[in-house]
Structure 1
């Protein structure tokens, strides 16, 4: 497979959070399909500050096996699927890797599974990925929503795997697309997923990430606006148990005028060494006048010994915008909420469960699939039962 490389300029951002160390300007990071263009993973790199290479289970190696698990798809009439190579125009149509595990998966998956959503109709797609292999493997998926399409695509990851995954999301002009990625692996799985979206004129993307199962799960999601009028809503929900590491990295690239983005991620943590990381990067370039953006992260720590890192980053290169802001907070139960519920005859344990349900339900309700909503709600109930909260 031929390699494509985009050489970076050099520079530091004018705005950074966490540890007081400036980060590299977001759009200047190297992008390449060749894993050799990326150095070994090191905590000196901002994107690997929290996650060491040993937790990746070999997904940073030069080569990986191709994914051999099951990939089952159900879809509406008119949706087409095919395995395609790099000669297909959709291959790389949403972007290329900008870190080592993503490049390793790109080079190791010789073909991509392309799901084409037809124009001018409403469609539903569900892709169930399951595995029972402990061998580090690679998978490449492409979702291509044609102009004026309206669709919901659900990616459902289950079983046991050590998986490096690239997901490309192409949203055509005037299309409306919802993509839901569920990580519900068993306790020993490792999953590194890079999900890149590119939006056309007046298009809308709702991207939802739900991470519940797995020893180490890292989802790096990005949205790039290519034409005016784009709108993205990036939502996420995660629940970490003892010893579990869940990381979400977001990037919104406002490169053109008059686009809107909203980012809302919520997480709950319980148990010793439960660890979550959320990093949200928003870039407003000089040409992106009229931008309207806001990002929010909230974490609820249910027990001692849990840790949540939350790092919002906002880079603004023009003052001619509608609005830009961010907020993050991590804390324990609101004593006033608990008192209010207990004063109405609800036990403390049930009051705590009601608070957690309400906290996470905001994200679950954004999924337009009743069966999936019920399943996720039951998963949260099971987590709470396990902890006795």
Structure 2
């Protein structure tokens, strides 16, 4: 009797020790995840949701436009930031009556802007590749007062033809900026702001009177803030094809698109649609590559390449939007499986405790000396003491992963609600 008491005491100590180590491991995992910045990701790693960042444009004399400004001819300038001080674009904003200016915006009807750009009014804008391997072009944005940016169109640094942009913006008050981007179809701007709308009259007055420039209170929000700024040699290929390649590359490592599916894991509808979207983008990229290989100097590459970039950016946005939900659902499924396993074990414990123990009345001389058969192996778990059974449950990896997964799921839910 005393020996059994000591054995049970030893089993309890083992259980307590393992539970302590489990708590420590879970605490360390949650601490490590919570310490990771929402917007900081290693280059080449899978991009995850929550990469929401507010970018401050700390430059002088920023100008915010309103539709009342567009009721009469108004000149607006885009001045270079610290990334491109020599860059400059001149705009003339006016009503629908028309103008002969080189760069003007005509207000056709509320919410609609027509932008015509001549190359003569774009100065000092160098190729976007100077900012790193992920940057291939420039995009013009209209930014609302609360920081939401709307893609108005691409502004390429090369070429001689005018740029015609027909865009729509719902903002009643906004400011303009130009950023370096991987392709023309991005849905959120990068932090690489090279031009922003400035008040030239105020700047001239401040310069003449030698008073300090007023810092612009301009900011915008974005989910796309992690790009590779490492330099790279420019490839000898059409810009449209390079942009399509980059768009597919970025989408392929974003969210669920950068994760390998488990063989037995169910595929939810959002994930299936996202993967199919990327597959379509890759198909158009194959067409573009084939067209370029057959006729390198032909323009047949432009249409499939731009289509590939557009669809790839859609897939990228979908992936970064649905990965959190998919991951939480997977963790919830794992937790449900662990709960079912624990419930089954609890039922077995209850049945075992309800049966009278015959160990004390068993004659050791009449006990069988034969090796336990398969049936004995199946019942071995039920013959253990409650403490030993709990120790065996705690030692199962599925329990550890389930508890850790539940903690991560709760953390992801809290972060998703906060953003």
TM-score, normalised with respect to structure 1: 0.27
Higher strand share: 1
Structure number with greater Rg is 2
Point out the structure with the larger helix share. 2
